Amino acid sequence: MDLKDKINTFQHSNNFWISFSRDIASVMLAVAAFAVISQIVFGMWTPMVAVESGSMQPHMEIGDIIFIKSIDRTEIITYEDATPNQISFEEPGNVILYRPYGQEGVTPIIHRAMYHVETGESMWPGGPTAPHSGYITKGDNPITNKYYDQQGQISYLLPVKEEWIIGVAKHRIPYVGHVRLLFS
């Protein structure tokens, strides 16, 4: 049996094991194609996160899937610096995904970059000075997020350093992330 016959048998056989192998190969090819396209478009192999809390309501809901563009491929526009046409998730400025305190292995935070501070500047009116430069962040939910992350437990007294940022939120698919959240 030559190569052409083997390929034809693989493509058209009704044998359970050959059919099963064909299905596995198709799924692996689809996953590989998605990963390559994600790397090209978003600069990340896995550009999606599921929203786990209501801190960004009403603009992001628990269970939404958010597509993230790598920080290496975009610039951060803060709420303070945004022009009227620089809207992201219905508000000015970018929503960023970052690792609290830069720690690996912890759940990243997805909040809006409100403004940038330099070392020694006040982090908010009447607030303490920044120990290093970075972003002051805050969730969009007016009930649960009345204060900046740096005033509470998320990133207490530490602006978000550039190297802690994973990326910028770009797109939202409602409710699809509930499946992922079932496994956490």
CATH code, domain with 134: 2.10.109.10
CA distance 184 to 180: 7
- Same domain for 86 and 175, yes or no, is yes
The pLDDT of residue 38: 67
- pTM of structure: 0.79
Structural domain of 11: 3-42
pLDDT confidence of 100, banded at 50, 70, 90?
Answer: very high
- Same domain for 30 and 83, yes or no, is no
Domain count, the chain: 2
Q: Which residue blocks in the chain are alpha helix, DSSP H?
A: 3-12, 16-42, 178-182
Pick left, alpha or beta for residue 101 (phi over 0 → left; psi -120 to 50 → alpha; otherwise beta). left
The pLDDT of residue 42: 64
Q: What is the mean pLDDT of the chain?
A: 89
- Same domain for 79 and 164, yes or no, is yes
- Same domain for 96 and 148, yes or no, is yes
